[in-house]
């Protein structure tokens, strides 16, 4: 597993592309510059790692597009030390971004193959999420709730009630909602019963599926 000057240079360019598309959060851009995205995908596809594109990984899943990862991360307004629940660990790239932002990350993946592979890989390259779980993200992680922030990285046909209930008052959840196309949606918990909802345009994700596999 090599990370060279060439890779680092390409990451600078990738961060510049993401910035040009409208992401302003310096810490998020810094995370993109720091994380060796090529190591999160099969080495034969290394050439694709620093393009601003989603790409296939194991178990018919994808590593999200860097712009999308950055956009969702920015919407969460993450502060150091906050607890974050991620649904859809996948390759672990978004998990690594959250770790770089200083968050305490809890992440759930429903594909056992990916869960095992990513758990090993993240520790190998030095990222230490608090807890990686093999399970169904629709249920969240009630035993570790409430969370400051929640991020869903698969397309949800509806907003799971369990996730909203695991958000702290004042907390934020970003979730792409829809079937074929998803609307990026932000929920801000105003009180025990009140949520403010904001929408940020169309994105495309692999589906959030029920149960684990």
Give residues in contact with ligand SAH (CB under 6 A).
61-64, 69, 87-88, 90-91, 93-94, 108-111, 114, 136-138, 153-154, 206, 208-209
Closer to ligand SAH by Cβ: residue 64 or 83: 64
Least distance (Å) from ligand SAH to the CB of residue 133? 9
Least distance (Å) from ligand SAH to the CB of residue 194? 26
Least distance (Å) from ligand SAH to the CB of residue 125? 14
- Of the candidates 74, 1, 61, which has an alpha carbon nearest to the alpha carbon of residue 32? 74
Closer to ligand SAH by Cβ: residue 44 or 191: 44
Distance from C-alpha of 145 to C-alpha of 167, rounded to nearest angstrom: 7
Catalytic residue among 64, 73, 91, 133: 64
- Of the candidates 19, 26, 3, 10, which has an alpha carbon nearest to the alpha carbon of residue 124? 3
User: Residue 175 in contact with residue 156, Cβ under 8 Å?
Assistant: yes
CB atoms within 10 A of CB 8: 12
Least distance (Å) from ligand SAH to the CB of residue 104? 17
Closer to ligand SAH by Cβ: residue 187 or 203: 203
Closer to ligand SAH by Cβ: residue 45 or 193: 45
Closer to ligand SAH by Cβ: residue 50 or 138: 138
| Residue 138 Ramachandran class (φ > 0 left, ψ -120 to 50 alpha, else beta) | alpha
User: Residue 132 in contact with residue 89, Cβ under 8 Å?
Assistant: yes
Q: Is the peptide bond before 172 cis (omega within 30 degrees of 0)?
A: no
Least distance (Å) from ligand SAH to the CB of residue 49? 12
Verify whether residue 64 is a known catalytic residue.
Answer: yes
- Of the candidates 11, 15, 19, 30, which has an alpha carbon nearest to the alpha carbon of residue 100? 30
Q: What's CA 182's distance to the chain center, in Å? A: 15
Q: Report the catalytic residues.
A: 64
């Amino acid at each position: 597993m090599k990370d060279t000057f060439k890779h680092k240079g390409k990451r600078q360019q990738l961060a510049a592309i993401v910035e040009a598309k409208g992401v302003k959060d310096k810490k998020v851009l810094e995370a993109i510059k720091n994380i060796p995205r090529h190591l999160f995908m099969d080495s034969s596809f290394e050439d694709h790692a620093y393009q601003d594109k989603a790409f296939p990984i194991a178990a018919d899943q994808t590593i999200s597009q860097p712009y999308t990862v950055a956009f969702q991360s920015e919407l969460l307004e993450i502060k150091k030390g906050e607890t974050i629940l991620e649904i859809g660990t996948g390759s672990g790239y978004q998990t690594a971004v959250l770790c770089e932002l200083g968050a305490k990350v809890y992440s759930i993946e429903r594909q056992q193959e990916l869960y095992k592979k990513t758990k090993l890989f993240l520790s190998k390259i030095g990222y230490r999420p608090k807890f990686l779980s093999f399970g169904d993200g629709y249920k969240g992680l009630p035993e570790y709730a409430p969370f400051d922030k929640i991020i869903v990285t698969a397309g949800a046909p509806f907003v799971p009630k369990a996730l909203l209930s695991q958000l702290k008052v004042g907390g934020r959840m970003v979730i792409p909602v829809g079937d074929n196309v998803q609307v990026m949606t932000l929920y801000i918990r105003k009180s025990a019963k009140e949520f403010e909802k904001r929408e940020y345009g169309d994105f495309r994700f692999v589906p959030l599926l029920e149960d684990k596999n």
